[in-house]
């Protein structure tokens, strides 16, 4: 498995060798995968899949946060929005 995400989505373990079959979210064990499913992943899994999988979903979320921060910074500095 290669990509930006390489740690377990639940415990943060560096060796994440298991993945959700639908969205490819990574886990270190079946225990962590089951725990994540029961604490909310079940509701997000299809949304993550539709967004292109875990890598793309979380990359898009980080890009949106960065863009929002840039807009807020520019607004605070008085930069016109159409500049």
| pTM reported for the whole predicted model | 0.70
pLDDT on residue 15: 82
pLDDT at 36 over 70: yes
Identify whether the C-beta of residue 9 lies closer than 8 Å to the C-beta of residue 53: no
Helices 42-50 and 54-77, axial angle in degrees (round to 10): 80
pLDDT on residue 81: 74
16 band by pLDDT with thresholds 50, 70 and 90: confident
Mean pLDDT check: name the lowest of 24-28, 65-69, 78-82. Answer: 78-82
SS3 26: strand
Q: Which residue has the tokens 């990359």?
A: 59
Average the pLDDT over 6-13 and give the result: 90
pLDDT on residue 4: 64
């Amino acid at each position: 498995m290669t990509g930006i995400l390489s740690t377990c989505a639940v415990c943060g373990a560096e060796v994440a060798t298991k993945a959700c079959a639908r969205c490819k979210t990574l886990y270190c064990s079946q225990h962590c995968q089951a725990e994540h499913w029961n604490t909310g992943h079940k509701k997000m899994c299809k949304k993550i899949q539709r967004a292109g999988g875990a890598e793309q979903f979380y990359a898009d979320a980080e890009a949106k946060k960065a863009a929002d921060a840039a807009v807020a910074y520019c607004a605070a500095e008085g930069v016109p929005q159409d500049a």
